[in-house]
Amino acid sequence: MSDQQARTISMIVFIDALGWEVLEGRRFMEEQLPHRRKLRSVFGFSSACIPSILTGLMPRDHRHWSFFYYSPQTSPFKPLRLLGWLPGALVDRGRVRNLISKLIKRLYSYTGYFQLYNIPFEHIDKFDYCEKSDLFVPGGMNRGENIFDHLSRAGVPYHVSDWRAAEEDNLAALRTDLAKGEIRFALLYMAAMDALLHRVGKASALVDEKLDWYAAALEQVLRTAAAHYDEVRVFVCSDHGMATVHTHLDLMRQIESLDLTFGRDYTATYDSTMGRFWFHTPAARERIVARLEQVPEGRILSDAELARLGCDFEGHQYGELIFLMNPGVLIVPSHMGLTPITGMHGYHPDDPDSDAALLSNVAPPDDPRAITDIFHLMRAEAGV
């Protein structure tokens, strides 16, 4: 290399669900990453948080939030309604649903993350889906520009993980690119922590084991980087934390016990931590609101609060009414899952268990406070 300038690599290591409270009392890479701060998360699941990290925008502005939203006019899923005639024992099995999801993803040429979860097939023709495109490429957002738009326009040589691949493969691919010494910026994507925390909860010793595994893997990455660059800047970050589930609530049954017809009087979708409602008659609104007001395990979010959270969508795209559970209360069953799990996220960002984390070996530029600031950090690091 004839380059006279000091060669610098900036690496963003994204570990899904590595929350500030998950790290509490643990000494994960304290020596290597002494700059540590919590970041406020964004209200919603990873399908909302990751777009906010990649764009610096709130959900209202990038228009990614919970996967499914009521939109019978644009629903691409009308043919799937036929599957509603098949016995639930067959089509509601996780493995069968995964297979159907894969098939749809291919038939529809979706490049984003696509999963049907447990949306009932008899009602699926009323819903559209918000993540049809790969978020990790230029032009991947429903609205606005992501970091990859900026990187590619500026011609910065960069590495980004394949979010569909396993962590070991992503680590190996990054180290291969680092050894070539050509990239200036890298985004490593690691998703397994989220699945583990859902399964075992943040207090489990398996989480300590997984953190040790990450530390060893990242030390190897840092050694490879140090061998090929003069300066290595690394920022480990996350999108949200993980609350421990203590209560299950069958919200669906409470609404279905009202004398209303799904699809005619109202439409609803039940995520793990929130019910989202669309009303087709004033009476349905009145009765559902009255019932929800009697549920002490959660609360209706006002329009003003949704606006403060950056989730006031044009045309109430993701629900005319959002009923959010208190931290630790899980809606079971929901349209996201039928079986109870130990950890969940997607509660209010004010809950400490929602906080994400930023750990780095150098002081981060611009005093980041929220996960949207990771976008600005990435731009500053890449110089775009």
Where does this chain bind Zn ion (CB under 5 A)? Answer: 194
Shortest Cβ contact with Zn ion: which residue? Answer: 194
Q: How far is the CB of 259 from Zn ion (least distance, A)?
A: 35
Indicate the residue among 167 and 177 with the shorter CB distance to Zn ion: 167
- Residue with smaller CB distance to Zn ion, 191 or 288: 191
Matching residue, tokens 């919590």: 38
DSSP 253-295: HHHHTSS--BTTTEEEEE-SSEEEEEESSHHHHHHHHHHHTT-
Residue 128's nearest CA partner among 139, 114, 140 is 114
CA distance 178 to 221: 8
Give 136 or 279: the residue with its C-beta nearer to Zn ion.
136
CB 360 within 8 A of CB 236: yes
Least Å distance, CB 224 to Zn ion, is 29
Residue 337: CB minimum distance to Zn ion, A: 11
Q: Of 177 and 194, which has the nearer Cβ to Zn ion?
A: 194
Q: What's the CA gap between 94 and 100, in Å, rounded? A: 10
224: helix, strand or coil: helix
Residue closer to Zn ion by CB (options 14, 121) is: 14
Alpha helices in the chain (DSSP H): 20-23, 46-55, 59-62, 88-91, 94-107, 147-154, 167-180, 192-200, 205-228, 251-256, 282-292, 303-308, 373-382
CB 135 within 8 A of CB 14: no
Q: How far is the CB of 334 from Zn ion (least distance, A)?
A: 13
Q: Are 344 and 202 in contact (CB under 8 A)?
A: no
* Tokens describing residue 125: 């023709």
Residue the block writes with tokens 């045309």: 315
Smallest separation, CB 346 to Zn ion (Å):
8
Residue 71 or 342 having the CB closest to Zn ion: 342
Count how many Cα atoms sit within 13 Å of the Cα of residue 26 in the half-sphere of its side chain. Answer: 21
Least separation in angstroms between residue 344's CB and Zn ion is: 8
Residues 326 and 332: their CA atoms lie apart, in Å, by 14
Give the shortest CB-345-to-Zn ion separation in angstroms. 6
Nearest distance in Å: CB 327, Zn ion: 15
Q: Is the Cβ of residue 135 or residue 225 nearer to Zn ion in the bound state?
A: 135
Q: Which is nearer to Zn ion, 337 or 364 (CB)?
A: 337
Asked if residue 55 lies in contact with residue 62, where contact means CB atoms within 8 angstroms, the answer is yes
DSSP 349-376: TTSGGG-EEEEESSPPTT---BTTHHHH
Least Å distance, CB 245 to Zn ion, is 12
> Whose structure tokens read 């990614």?
64
Which C-beta is closer to Zn ion: that of 194 or that of 381? Answer: 194
Nearer to Zn ion, 194 or 373 (CB): 194
Q: DSSP 3-state assignment of 301?
A: coil
CB 114 to Zn ion: min, Å: 16
